[in-house]
Structure 1
Amino acid sequence: MARPVWSGTLTFGLVSLPVQMYTATENHTVRFHQVQRGTSDRVRNKRVNERTGEEVPLDEVVKAYEEGGEYVVVEPDELDDIAPGRSKSLEITGFVDLEDVEPVFFDKTYYLGPKGEQYTKVYALLEKTLAEAGRAGIATFVMRNHQYLVAVKAEAGLLTLHTLHWADEIRDPRKEIDNLPGRTKVTDRELKMARQLVDTLGMEWRPEDFHDTYQERVNALIEAKRGGEEVEKAEPPAESTNVVDLMDALRASVDRAKKPGKRGGSSAKSKSKTNAKTNAKATEKGKGKRAAKGQSRASLDRLTKAELYRRATEAGVPGRSSMTRDELLDALTRKEKGAA
């Protein structure tokens, strides 16, 4: 079971609910170490006193605020003493309609759970009430010496907590971007064709259909370099659409999207080139799948992890980026038995 990252009391009105907070997401990014080129020697960071050059133990490092060349040292205990509710209170100020909170304000998501079985009824009452009302409770709390503005909402039978950005943290796009379109003229024909393209590319939101392809390519790169194999380079980005060719690009995109198995397209000029690449890839992928289907476990066992990973990618094996070689082998074997 996961360990809570924060524990405290959620309050709304005169009702108190002890809760524990759990991280809702995890990061699967490949972690690289720093080494000196040409060696296997790790390069590490140290806390060094810039005046003496000597390393400083962690327990001697404190926070300090600089102003005018002078430092004001603040001890960890002093930060805890001034925290509202001593970092253990999550008080809901009021409830707002979810649709009123703009997406730009949302930051990170956590799960909330009752701190004990005796609190499940109060927990369930708040969850069901928020679900039926379509509202979220707005609150503040302190964690790790930071105060957070949060929204507590009901999702799939449980309470979730979403940290929000403060209003003064949201940048004004008109001040940050100096070339926004403003009153740029868009013709009715262009708007109609663009809308048709959007409708043609309509789809259901199924997050499980998407995965981190860059992460997979990083893993494949590592395996290929480990085996001394050639690294396949990614395709160059699509060319920018010229304003003169905009209608042609939109029309070609709609025609392409209407064809079974065809999605996307960059411009009318690159359409034939893109189709050729797509068809070649589809043919190669189809051959790979047919070859993989005919493989027995014994023949698969002779493949390297990089080769197994490529087979798993072609077969659409979920979770392949974090699998060991044996796990990839088992998954491919099960996949082929199911296909047979």
Structure 2
Amino acid sequence: MARPVWTGSISFGLVNIGVALYSATQSRDVSFRQLEQGTGRRVRNKRVAEGTNREVEYEDITKGYETNSGDYVVVTQDELDSVRPDKSRSISVDDFVRIDEVDPIYFQRSYYVAPRSEDQEHAYALLREAMKEAGLAGVAGLVMRNKEHLVAIRPRDDVLVLSTMFYADEIRAPHDVVDGLPGDQDLPSRELDTAVQLIEQLSTEWKPEKYHDTHREQVLRLVEQKARGKKIEVEEPEEPVDNVIDLVAALEQSIEQAKGSSAPVEGVVTTESGGAVMAAASRVPVGERRL
């Protein structure tokens, strides 16, 4: 069994439930070490003072906050400790909200919440089932690893799931990041109706096990082949061929393709008036898509 990453209690009203948090997810990224080409020797990073070749010992390193003028305000660890959040072992749920009202952009990392002992199981089950009945999720604060987190707690089957969240001021406004976002437009009804029909045709039941990290699988296959001494032939990718066609025609053909009765629609799709480019529908059959 996994070890908990945090132990404490959840409180709502005057009820306190002893709980433990367990990581609900794990990274499956393929990691590599940096090696010197030709010798295969491991390359390691050193902490070097800027403008010198002098390596700095870890105990001689302090923290500095860079200001807009480019200067640094040096802050000691003792000074940071003085404003560190209290090491509270309680998650106090004071607000309950509808989880479907929370934009997924706010969610960071998820943890399973479990009762800390058998004595806590009844109260834990009561909270879980009450939240299911109400259709609500709890919003609270959590201090973990010397950082204060905003969290949402929601029921999922037999377990409560806690997700750390971004604060509102950490969410960037899209128009501050992206140029050229189209606003409200008076779209031709035929285009819109056909696009909706295509989306509905491609809709399916959410089954996460259908989707695989095919790039990771290919990287692991490549590593395995090289470990067996196989020479890897690197081929240049083919350049895509543009095929400019009518937007509605492309949507209609995509619908037929989704039904399995038409050949794939290739290339770039544009409006007759040269409007915004729109990609043709996925050429992977419904239910066999990969991320």
What range is the shorter-chain TM-score in? 0.7 to 0.9
* Matched-pair contact (CA < 8 Å) for 2:154–2:161: yes
**1:63–1:33 CA distance, 2 compared to 1 (3 A):** same
Residue matched to 1:53: 54
Tell me how far 1:245 sits from its aligned partner. 2.4
Residue matched to 1:71: 74
Name the aligned partner's letter for residue 39 of structure 1: T
Tell me how far 1:185 sits from its aligned partner. 3.6
Residue matched to 1:230: 232
Tell me how far 1:87 sits from its aligned partner. 3.7
User: Any unmatched runs of 5+ in structure 2?
Assistant: 270-279
Tell me how far 1:225 sits from its aligned partner. 3.0
Residue matched to 2:13: 13
Tell me how far 1:165 sits from its aligned partner. 1.0
* Matched-pair contact (CA < 8 Å) for 1:150–1:162: yes
Secondary structure, counterpart of 2:154 in structure 1 = strand
Residue matched to 1:187: 188
Tell me how far 1:94 sits from its aligned partner. 1.3
Tell me how far 1:149 sits from its aligned partner. 0.4
Name the aligned partner's letter for residue 32 of structure 1: F
Residue matched to 2:41: 41
Q: Aligned pair 1:122/2:116, yes or no? A: no
C-alpha distance in 2, partners of 1:8/1:89? 6
**1:167–1:70 CA distance, 2 compared to 1 (3 A):** closer
Q: More relative contact order in 1 or in 2 (CA 8 Å, sep 6+)?
A: 2
Tell me how far 1:82 sits from its aligned partner. 3.7
* Matched-pair contact (CA < 8 Å) for 2:151–2:165: yes
The TM-score, its normalising length taken from structure 2, stands at 0.81
What count of residue pairs does the alignment treat as equivalent? Answer: 268
Tell me how far 1:38 sits from its aligned partner. 1.6
Residue matched to 2:276: none
The TM-score, its normalising length taken from structure 1, stands at 0.70
How big is each residue's C-alpha offset from its partner over 1:176-233, in whole Å with a ceiling of 9 and x where there is no partner? 2221121334211111211221122121111111111010111122223333233465
**1:240–1:151 CA distance, 2 compared to 1 (3 A):** farther
Residue matched to 1:31: 31
When the two chains are superposed, the root-mean-square deviation of aligned CA atoms in Å is 3.0
Instruction: Report matched runs for 1:108-187 at 5 Å.
Output: 108-187=109-188
Instruction: Report matched runs for 1:325-340 at 5 Å.
Output: none
Q: Aligned pair 1:200/2:207, yes or no? A: no
C-alpha distance in 2, partners of 1:190/1:33? 50
**1:257–1:98 CA distance, 2 compared to 1 (3 A):** same
User: Any unmatched runs of 5+ in structure 1?
Assistant: 279-315, 317-340
C-alpha distance in 2, partners of 1:106/1:166? 10
C-alpha distance in 1, partners of 2:124/2:79? 33
